């Protein structure tokens, strides 16, 4: 069976490999280049990404296709002219007022309630406590996942294609695929630039929550094992990275989801499922998709 997979990011590459190994003929379609937001070169990553999981099956799958360098992520916040460990050892009203509230306003245009940052837990500076953590060789991962699979670059997701009733896997933005027929889903994204410098940061990432800074995060890539580059990120509305999940957007997304179900299109990945997902969740979701041989 021929399978049309829209998107050559992590979800698309994994689904292509799974269908290939099950004896099908996957074709991957992408607008410009493979790897998506996971793109990197020898000097830096497009955006900071490090792998973590507690799921043995996810780790075993990854190790079939690439290597992992042990790494535990340490971060800091810069506010009031000082660096503070992030995540902090405790989350109190002062931390919320000085770090979380201004960060949320800057990132999400929103003032957080006490429980809004659900992913951030009190810590000694390590962002994650998962059993497996490290930096993946991403180019090797994609080379192996897409080995022997046709990838067509230059695909326009809004152009209607006749796939002749064959299987379609969508990993791109579902509202864009359907030409915004129900309206646009809200997103926030990151504009990024990379600067070569001999001056490093105190930790791999530093958050800048205060409004005085036009950017929100810096990443020191030499601490990930790359070159002497620092990535500078600023939030924006015109790049689709982070779904803005609320009651209104959930209702809108469900319209698109029901349309995809009716059209027998499988939705996989952060954009298609309209969920914030780290790499481990994307991989796990892909592995749970049932494929008939």
Cβ neighbours for 68, distance < 8 A, ≥ 6 positions apart: 51, 62, 132, 134, 135, 136, 137
Average pLDDT, the chain: 90
What local confidence, expressed as pLDDT, does residue 120 receive? 64
Rounded to an integer, the average pLDDT of 126-155 is 93
What local confidence, expressed as pLDDT, does residue 116 receive? 46
Give the helix/strand (H/E) hosting 167: strand 167-170
Interior/surface letters 6-34, b for 16+ CB within 10 angstroms, e for the rest: bbbbbbbbbbbbbbbeeebebbbbbeeeb
What local confidence, expressed as pLDDT, does residue 103 receive? 86
Cβ neighbours for 200, distance < 8 A, ≥ 6 positions apart: 220, 222, 223, 228, 230
Q: How far apart are CA 272 and CA 176, in angstroms?
A: 10
φ/ψ of residue 28, rounded to 5: -105, 135
Residue 139 in this model has a pLDDT that exceeds 90: yes
Rounded to an integer, the average pLDDT of 118-141 is 80
φ/ψ of residue 193, rounded to 5: -135, 155
Q: Which two tokens stand for residue 218?
A: 């810096």
Residue 113 in this model has a pLDDT that exceeds 90: no
DSSP class of residue 74 equals B
What local confidence, expressed as pLDDT, does residue 126 receive? 73
Q: Which domains does the chain show, CATH number per domain?
A: 1-67+137-184+245-293 (3.40.50.720), 72-130+187-243 (no CATH)
Residue 93 in this model has a pLDDT that exceeds 80: no
Q: Where is average pLDDT lowest: 46-50, 85-89, 277-281?
A: 85-89
Do 145 and 65 contact (CB within 8 A), yes or no?
A: yes
- Between residues 259 and 91, the one the model is more confident about: 259
Q: Where is average pLDDT lowest: 78-82, 99-103, 276-280, 283-287?
A: 99-103
What local confidence, expressed as pLDDT, does residue 114 receive? 42
Query: Kindly report the CA angle at 158 between 156 and 159, in degrees rounded to 5?
Result: 70
What local confidence, expressed as pLDDT, does residue 118 receive? 55
pLDDT tens per residue across span 238-267: 899 999 988 999 999 999 999 999 999 999
pLDDT tens per residue across span 33-76: 999 999 999 999 999 999 999 999 999 999 999 999 999 888 88
The CB density around residue 110, as the number of other CB atoms within 10 Å, is 13
Q: How confident is the model at residue 153 (pLDDT cuts 50, 70, 90)?
A: very high
Looking at the chain, the whole-number percentage of residues with pLDDT higher than 90 is: 72
Cβ neighbours for 66, distance < 8 A, ≥ 6 positions apart: 136, 137, 138, 140, 141, 144
pLDDT tens per residue across span 179-222: 999 999 999 999 999 999 999 999 999 999 998 999 999 999 99
């Amino acid at each position: 069976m021929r399978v049309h997979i829209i998107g050559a990011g992590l979800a698309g590459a994994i689904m292509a490999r799974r269908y290939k190994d099950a004896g099908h003929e996957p074709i991957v379609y992408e607008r410009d280049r493979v790897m998506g937001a996971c793109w990197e070169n020898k000097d830096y990553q497009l955006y900071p990404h490090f792998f973590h999981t507690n799921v043995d099956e996810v780790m075993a799958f990854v190790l079939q296709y690439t290597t992992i360098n042990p790494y535990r992520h340490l971060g800091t916040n810069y506010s009031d002219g000082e660096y503070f460990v992030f995540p902090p050892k405790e989350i109190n009203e002062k931390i919320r007022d000085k770090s979380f509230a201004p960060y949320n306003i800057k990132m999400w245009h929103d003032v957080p309630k006490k429980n809004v940052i659900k992913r951030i837990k009190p810590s000694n500076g390590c962002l994650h406590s998962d059993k497996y953590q490290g930096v993946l060789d991403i180019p090797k991962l994609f080379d192996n996942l897409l080995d022997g699979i046709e990838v067509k670059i230059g695909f326009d997701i809004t152009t209607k294609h006749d796939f002749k009733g064959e299987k379609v896997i969508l990993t791109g933005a579902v509202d864009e695929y359907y030409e915004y027929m129900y309206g646009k889903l809200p997103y926030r994204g990151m504009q990024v630039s990379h600067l070569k410098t001999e001056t490093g940061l105190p930790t791999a990432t530093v958050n800048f929550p205060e409004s005085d800074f036009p950017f929100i995060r810096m990443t020191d890539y030499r601490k990930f094992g790359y070159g002497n580059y620092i990535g500078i990120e600023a939030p924006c509305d015109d790049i689709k990275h982070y779904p803005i999940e609320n009651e209104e957007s959930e209702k809108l997304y469900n319209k698109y989801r029901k349309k995809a179900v009716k059209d027998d299109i499988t939705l996989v990945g952060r954009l298609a499922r309209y969920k914030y997902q780290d790499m481990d969740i994307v991989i796990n979701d892909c592995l749970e998709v049932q494929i008939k041989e």
